[in-house]
A and B are shown apart, each in its own frame.
Chain A
């Protein structure tokens, strides 16, 4: 007898909906036959039989939501003694995993889920994921501005590798939602040229790791041409996609490029945390006359936030205070904001009130908001999901030294990832990534507590 357990079907899946059974009890299945349709956090997936046999019991009813990964959903009796050994191993090995659950819950994501920023908006709001907010921003701008089009790998028919462009092909058609070959250098250059030619491209990189293929056009072509042409040649383009560590995808797929792009004059660099900021800032990015690098985060895509309804753009170049506090300032951006919020909770329980600044735009940097907070708390920690050396943290600390030295009561500390390529092993990955507990220690240290 083989127990079929609900499998993890994506790096971030923890539970799913058993949408539909495609077999009934008593059915005989062959290897490769479909057993069920499962809705995951990203998509509807089909579950196949690895080995053949007879379906004995279906343990979970069709339509059941929130079925945890590892739950036994069916029992299948093996075809013969040769085929049988494969399956029992599944049952046996599943036990320790369920206890350790090393994969499905990346540490950073956990921290983010735990604490959502209490940002209040006037006017009506709706609950949306970051993914939906980004999609709405693009769709709204495309409705009003015919020059806006989206281009990238799998953005159209596949609905986006991370489903951010879901539904855009249907609404805007293949002329404005363009699937490209895998040729980042080519389509980043083509997009840049199209922007120079009067269009407003949104170029999606499946992840920013692959934008390294294209970085020459982002920097040498898009960022510098306006300057070199004495202001004649505009390049209103948005390069967007997920940036930073995802979950267990290893060194080549887990990198924060914010400091790379933020060092380049001629670029706007944005890295939002909340869905409201993701939407409002992407709208501003699309409307901007300048080239924008818009850094999203895969682990945030599925997180929900309140988003103001309607056409609400968030200004570029303005940080936001997401939590007020008097004792220490935590400066962060993107997924790091969630980690800072988590740390702030722990600190509050120990009597330390942290003020949290979400930079939102990394270039141009809103130094005024950072310095005002420093003036108030006199202590600062920079929280960054990325490498420490030549980082955004390095920049913030320099600004504080140059312009806020008299307000400092303690050296500024940075809490970041460890200064190594990101390892794959679960324990090493966890050790390498940014952690709320380290933020707590650093905050206490600068408070001399």
Chain B
């Protein structure tokens, strides 16, 4: 599924206060039909044609994220993880499909629902889990926690707890890539809820104005905490949110890892060729509550169950692997076992690793000495 900008049905006609002579009826007519108004657009993305090993690798990565998150949920329930803990279960295809189109020199930034992004960026599961349990071996030395994790070595710039703060930050990472001329780009992930923050639009404007190499990825999981997209967004087709800044937008099936991989390629090609930013809206779904303490009364059990049963990205990849003859059930079970071993190893490590030294309380506040 990929959609280009066409207005949603039921768009209200806007009353115009300006005198007729000063408005351009053609512009409005054009925008009603084709809101990109003739600005260059990327081609329609194609679903990626994966080789067997490639699809198996996507499957394994998605499974790693899912099993990791399940275990994180269990550790939270046992009191090993504290504070807020936002699980990525259901959204795995998004990060796996996008990361696969990137180069090691690119930059990635996201919000607090970040464990999956980190694993797929190649950060060892032990270091992520040990951060969740607040241990010295954690990727932020135990000082950041679930929402605040970073690994510059892996091009992963966080892990940010303030909704939408990562959007201008990611735009700034893109600014740095362009400034240095290193050929890199920045991927900036944010949620449907985050897409209502003003700084998102300030970023769109600057990114297009200065043709910055940034891919804006809206992970539209349909809810911001308990608020559904249509209760918070006057334009609920979020891929159109860049239009008034001339940032082209594509809507993508975020539950299909190959659709994501295909759209990611289109986006990467667009941005790397110097055409400026692009916006991808990935339609996805989170199975769990917003965080571990969300009773999730705002949606029905049936809605969640239907998504799980009909649209699960991992099950879909599994079917495609079997049907394509890329692997048999036994091989998939083996992969599951390998992944569980990694996760169990990470959890054991994260439970047993020591807490930070008390002296760490005072380190890293400033870099210089004054």
Contacts and interface: CB of A to CB of B under 8 A. Distances in A.
Contact of B78 (A44, A97, A182, A212): A97
A424 B232 contact: no
B47 to A, nearest CB: 28
Interface string B148-172: 1000000000001111100000000
A423 B142 contact: yes
A250 B77 contact: no
Interface string A27-44: 000001010000010111
B79 A182 contact: no
Contact of A423 (B143, B193, B292, B305): B143
B286 to A, nearest CB: 13
Contacts of B301: 34
A50 B70 CA distance: 7
A69 B79 contact: yes
B1 to A, nearest CB: 25
Contacts of B361: 418, 420, 423, 428, 431-432
B196 A183 contact: yes
Interface string B259-295: 0000000000000000000000000000100001101
Contacts of A97: 78-80
The secondary structure that dominates the A interface is loop
Interface residues of A, number: 67
Given A158-B227, A423-B142, A428-B356, A10 B293 contact: yes
A85 B344 contact: yes
A86 B70 contact: yes
Contacts of A32: 287, 304-305, 308
B82 A248 contact: yes
B197 interface: yes
A251 B148 contact: yes
B326 interface: no
Interface stretch (B98-106, B118-126, B203-211, B332-340): B332-340
B65 to A, nearest CB: 15
Interface string B56-75: 00000000000000110111
A91 B331 CA distance: 29
Given A424-B143, A425-B135, A103 B79 contact: yes
Contacts of B197: 182-185, 213
Contacts of B136: 425
Contacts of A8: 76-79, 292
B83 A247 contact: yes
B243 interface: no
A70 B227 contact: no
A161 interface: yes
B356 A427 contact: yes
The secondary structure that dominates the B interface is loop
B293 A9 contact: yes
B257 interface: no
Contacts of A153: 225, 227
A421 interface: yes
Contact of A426 (B231, B298, B337, B355): B355
A421 B362 CA distance: 9
Contacts of A103: 79-82
B198 interface: yes
A209 B148 CA distance: 15
A271 B365 CA distance: 28
Interface in B107-151: 131, 134-136, 138, 140, 142-148
Contacts of A79: none
A427 B83 contact: no
A60 interface: no
A90 interface: yes
A90 B160 CA distance: 29
Nearest to A33: B305
Given A423-B142, A423-B143, A181 B225 contact: no
Interface in A97-125: 97, 101-104
Interface in A125-180: 153-154, 157-158, 161, 179-180
Contact of B295 (A43, A157, A184, A253): A43
B328 interface: no
A186 B200 CA distance: 13
A7 interface: yes
Interface in A299-348: none
30 contacts: A7-B76, A8-B79, A10-B293, A13-B293, A43-B295, A44-B295, A46-B296, A86-B340, A90-B78, A93-B80, A103-B79, A103-B80, A103-B82, A158-B297, A180-B232, A182-B163, A183-B197, A183-B198, A212-B162, A253-B147, A421-B365, A423-B356, A425-B134, A425-B136, A425-B143, A425-B356, A427-B355, A428-B143, A428-B358, A432-B361
Interface of A: 5, 7-11, 13, 32, 34, 40, 42-46, 50, 69-70, 82, 85-86, 89-90, 93-94, 96-97, 101-104, 153-154, 157-158, 161, 179-186, 209-210, 212-213, 246-253, 418, 420-421, 423-428, 431-432
Given A182-B196, A213-B197, A425-B138, 9 more contacts: A8-B76, A46-B296, A93-B347, A154-B225, A181-B232, A247-B82, A247-B83, A424-B142, A425-B142
